[in-house]
Structure 1
Amino acid sequence: MKNQWITFFTGKVLVKVEGQGIERFINEMTRSKIAVWQVKRMGEQTFTFYLSLNDLHNFRRAVRKFGCRVTFLRGQGSPFLWKRALKNSGFLLGGISFFVMILLLSNMVWGISIKGASPQTQYEIEKQLQEMGIKKGKFQFSIPDVESIQRELSNRMNNITWVGVELKGTTYHFQVVEKNEPETAEEIGARNLVAEQKAVIKEVFVEEGMPMVEVNDHVQKGQLLVSGLIGKEDQEKKEAVSAKGVIRGEVWYITKVELPLETDFEVFSGDEKVKHYISFGKFRLPIWGWGKIDYKKSIDEQDEHKLKFLKWELPLTYTEKTVREKEDVTRKYSRKEAVITAKELARNNLKAELPEDAEVTGEKILHEQIENGKVRLNVHFKVIEDIAVGQPIIQGD
C-alpha cells in the first residue's frame, strides 16, 4: 500500500476493469512497475483498484494489449481538489478574501480607552497619541509595543505620575494617574538676603526689606544685601520681616575644557533597507523587501507583532526588520576651528549649570594649549545673575 500522504499530493484514481484475463492484466502491470493497491474482486470478471495518477499514461498503454473494458470511477487527491476549486473559483476567492479581510480587521486599532484622567488631560493624551501615530484604523503591527508607548507618553506628559498601557483585542486601554499638586502658600519667616557669591552689583530691586547695597558695589560671599529688620535708625526694637527682592550681580566663572583635534566615530549614512516577514516558529517567509544587503557595517532593528484572528492569537508573527548602514568618519579640526569649537563647548557647559534667567555678557580665553593631540582652554566668563539667597533672622541678632 502506497504512502497515503504521497498519493494525496500526487493524486490517485479508482479504476474498474471488466473482461477476461484480468489476472494476467494485473500481473502485466506489476511487471511494468505500475503500482496498484486495494485490489477488490467485484464479480467473476470485474476488479476495482487504485492507481497513481502518475502511472495513468503507462496504464492506458498497457491496457490496449488486453481485451478489457476500463472505467475510471473517481479521482482523489490534491490535483482533483484543485481542479474542483478552479471550477468554483468564485467561492474560493470569496473564502480567501473573507479570511484575509477578517485577519486584517483583527489586527487594526478600533478603540482607544482612557481612564483616570480629567477632560483636559485626556484631550492632551489623545493629541499626543495622534502625533505618535496611535489612532483608530491603524494596523497594530505599525505601532510600537505597549512598553514603548508607555515610556514615550510618560516623557511627553509632565502632568501625569503614571500611565499604564494595555492592548486588549483591538482596543488600547490607558490607565492614568495624574499629579496632585495642591497649591499651598509658602510660609517664609523673618529673613535677610545675603550674597551667594562674590560679585559686582548691577541691578537692585527690593520688594520688602531695607536695601544695604547699591549698583556698582563690590560684595563678598555672605555679605548682607537686604535687611529684614525695618524701622527708624533711632528705634531700639525694629520689626523683623521676610526680605524679598532681586539683586543681580556680575559674577565671574572660569571653565576648563579640552577637545581632541582628531576624532573617529561611527555615523548613519542615511541609507536603510526594510524587510518584512511572516514567521512561524523558526521559519521565516519574506513578504516584502527582497535582495541581498551588502552594507559593510550596519545595525539591525526588529519590531515583532503577533498576528490575531478575531480574539485568538495566531502562532504567526509579523516582523519588520530595518537595516541601517553605518560608516566610519574621522573628524579633524585645525587649531582655529578647535579653539572656536572648544569655546562653544565651554559656553554650553556653563549655561547648563546656570539658572534660566542668567545672562552671559562676556568671555575671554585665559589660557590656550595644544598637547597630545588635544586643545585645552581656560575660558573666563562674565555672567549677570540673581545672587541673593535667604538667611533666617535669629532672635537676638
Structure 2
Amino acid sequence: MSRVPWEHRWRGAVRLELRGAFVARVLRDLHAEGVPLYDVRVGDDRCSLRIALGDFRALVAACRRHKVRLRAVERIGLPFAARRLRQRKVMWVGPVLFLCVLACLSSIIWQVDVSGTDDEDLVREVVAAARENGLYVGAWRWNLPEVEVLQARMLDHLPSLVWIGVQLHGAKAQLEVLPKIPAQPPAPAAPQDIVAAKPGTVLKVFATRGDVVVRPGQTVQPGQVLISGRLGDSGVAVAADGKVYAEVWYRSQVALPLSVVQQAWTGASVRRVYLRFGAWALHVWGWKQADYPRQVTVSDERDLRVFGLRLPVGWQSDEIREVEPRRFALTESAARKEALRLAALDVRARAGADARVLGQTVLQTQVEHGKLYETVLTRVEEDIGTAAPLPAAAGGPGRTAG
C-alpha cells in the first residue's frame, strides 16, 4: 500500500471498494473526466481505490450511471478527524482540563533558590525576607509585587547584602545575592614576633613589617624567631607581620589492602516511572517487584518545558539495580601508586590546603597478610610562621612605635 500524501491528510481522502459488472466503465469515465485515482486494484467484478474527498461526488455519479455499488473502507484526513471530535465533545474535556491545570500550576512558585553565598545562615535570612514580602513556595505569581519593588524591600530587610537580584523562571524563583565584604581586621597593635611553628628549612621570606632574621636554606626549630618585632639598633617594638615559607617533612604510615570487595551490578534491574507535581510523585508505570537481596536505586529527573518555560510537572525515572559483592585485586605497582596518593592526601589534611607537595620518598615497604604497608616521607612547602608576644628587652621594656 502506497504512502498517503500530505494533501490527502490535510484535505481528506476516502478509500473505497467498488462492486459490479461495470466497474471498468466507472474507471473509464473517471479517467475521461480527469479525476486522479490512487492505489487502484482491479479484480473480476470489484475494485479498490483511494480518491480525494473533493472528487468523491464525481465517483458517486459514475457509480449511479453504471449501477455499481460502493463501500467506504477507510476515511483519511483532517476533515474526518474534526467531524469525529465534534461528535464526541467529551474528548475535549480532558485536553482542556489538562491545559487549565498546567496553566494553574505554572502560576504557582514551586521552588526558591538562593545563589551567590555558601553561608547557610545568610541563605535562611534571605528566604525568610522573601517570605515576608510574599515570595515563597506556593505563592501565586500574580500576587507578587514588581521585581524592582521586591528587590528593594528585601534589601531593606538584609543590611548584610550589597545587592540582591530576583529572577522568575516559570515556577522557579532565583535569588542572587552579593554579600558585603567584611572589613579587614586591623593590623595587630601589640608588639610581636613571627616565630616558627614547626621545624623546617626556609625557602622564601616575605616580611611586611619587622626585621627578617633568617635566610633561605637555613634550618629552623619551633619557637625560633623568623621575623623580629624589634627594628634594628633602635630597638623600636612593632607588630611583626609576614609569611615564611619553608620545606617541612611529614612521615605517613599507609596500609592498603591488595584486594577489595565492591558492589557490582549484575545486569538485572527494574524501572519505575513517576509523574512529579512539585514535591509529590505519582507512580504511573513499572509495577514489577524488585526482590533483590542487594540493590541500589539510580534516579533521573526531567522537567517538562513548553516554549522554554519550565513547568512544575516532570518525569522521574527510578532504576532499581541488583548488585552483588565482587572482589577486585590490585597489582603491587598500582597499590604503591595509590599509597603515595593517600599519603599526599594525609599530608594536605595535616599541613593545610595552601601547602604544596614538593616530593615523596618511600622509606619502607612491606606486603603482609594481603596488605601493602608503606612508610612515606613527604616534603611540602608551607607557611610556618606564627605570631608570638615580643619578649621584654634585657634593659627594660622596649619602646613602642607611636
Q: Which residue of 1 aligns with 2:188?
A: 188
CA gap of 1:91–1:364, structure 2 versus 1, over 3 A, is same
Q: Which residue of 1 aligns with 2:239?
A: 242
Give TM-score scaled by structure 1 length: 0.54
Q: 2:381 aligns with which of 367, 384, 390?
A: 384
Q: Which residue of 1 aligns with 2:104?
A: 106
Q: Which residue of 2 aligns with 1:162?
A: 123
RMSD of aligned residue pairs (Cα, Å):
3.9
Output one character per residue of 1:55-96: Cα deviation in whole Å (capped at 9) or x when no partner. xxxxxxxxxxxxxxxxxxxxxxxxxxxxxxx99634212222
Q: Which residue of 1 aligns with 2:212?
A: 211
CA gap of 1:297–1:323, structure 2 versus 1, over 3 A, is farther
Q: Which moved more, 1:198-207 or 1:347-356?
A: 347-356
For the 8 Å contact 2:358–2:379, the answer to whether it is kept is yes
Q: Which residue of 2 aligns with 1:367?
A: 364
C-alpha distance in structure 2 between counterparts of 1:267 and 1:169, whole Å? 47
The offset of 1:166, in angstroms, is 2.1
Gaps of 5+ in 1: 1-85, 113-139, 141-145, 305-316
Q: Which residue of 2 aligns with 1:92?
A: 90
The offset of 1:318, in angstroms, is 9.2
Output one character per residue of 1:271-314: Cα deviation in whole Å (capped at 9) or x when no partner. 865423579xxxx986445767687743347899xxxxxxxxxx
For the 8 Å contact 1:302–1:319, the answer to whether it is kept is no
CA gap of 1:240–1:277, structure 2 versus 1, over 3 A, is closer
For the 8 Å contact 1:162–1:176, the answer to whether it is kept is no
> Which entry has the higher C-alpha Rg, 1 or 2?
1
CA gap of 1:320–1:246, structure 2 versus 1, over 3 A, is closer
Give TM-score scaled by structure 2 length: 0.53
Q: Which amino acid aligns with 2:137?
A: E
The offset of 1:193, in angstroms, is 0.8
Q: Which amino acid aligns with 1:168?
A: A
Percent identity over the alignment is: 24
For the 8 Å contact 2:211–2:232, the answer to whether it is kept is no
CA gap of 1:172–1:319, structure 2 versus 1, over 3 A, is closer
The offset of 1:206, in angstroms, is 2.3
CA gap of 1:247–1:278, structure 2 versus 1, over 3 A, is closer
The offset of 1:367, in angstroms, is 1.7
C-alpha distance in structure 2 between counterparts of 1:183 and 1:382, whole Å? 36
CA gap of 1:88–1:208, structure 2 versus 1, over 3 A, is closer
C-alpha distance in structure 2 between counterparts of 1:87 and 1:333, whole Å? 68
Q: Which amino acid aligns with 1:324?
A: I
Q: Which residue of 1 aligns with 2:320?
A: 324
Residue 226 of structure 1 pairs with residue 227 of structure 2: yes
C-alpha distance in structure 2 between counterparts of 1:207 and 1:270, whole Å? 63
For the 8 Å contact 2:117–2:179, the answer to whether it is kept is no
Output one character per residue of 1:79-120: Cα deviation in whole Å (capped at 9) or x when no partner. xxxxxxx99634212222211222233333x466xxxxxxxx
Output one character per residue of 1:320-343: Cα deviation in whole Å (capped at 9) or x when no partner. 451232343322112222222111
Aligned pairs for 1:252-263 (under 5 A) are 252-263=249-260
Q: Which moved more, 1:317-326 or 1:203-212?
A: 317-326
CA gap of 1:167–1:215, structure 2 versus 1, over 3 A, is same
C-alpha distance in structure 1 between counterparts of 2:356 and 2:85, whole Å? 83
Q: 1:358 aligns with which of 355, 358, 378?
A: 355
C-alpha distance in structure 1 between counterparts of 2:346 and 2:267, whole Å? 30
The offset of 1:243, in angstroms, is 1.3
Q: Which amino acid aligns with 1:183?
A: A
For the 8 Å contact 1:276–1:318, the answer to whether it is kept is no
For the 8 Å contact 1:159–1:179, the answer to whether it is kept is no
For the 8 Å contact 1:194–1:388, the answer to whether it is kept is yes
> Aligned to 2:227, what secondary structure does the other structure show?
strand
Alignment length (residue pairs): 254
> Aligned to 1:214, what secondary structure does the other structure show?
coil
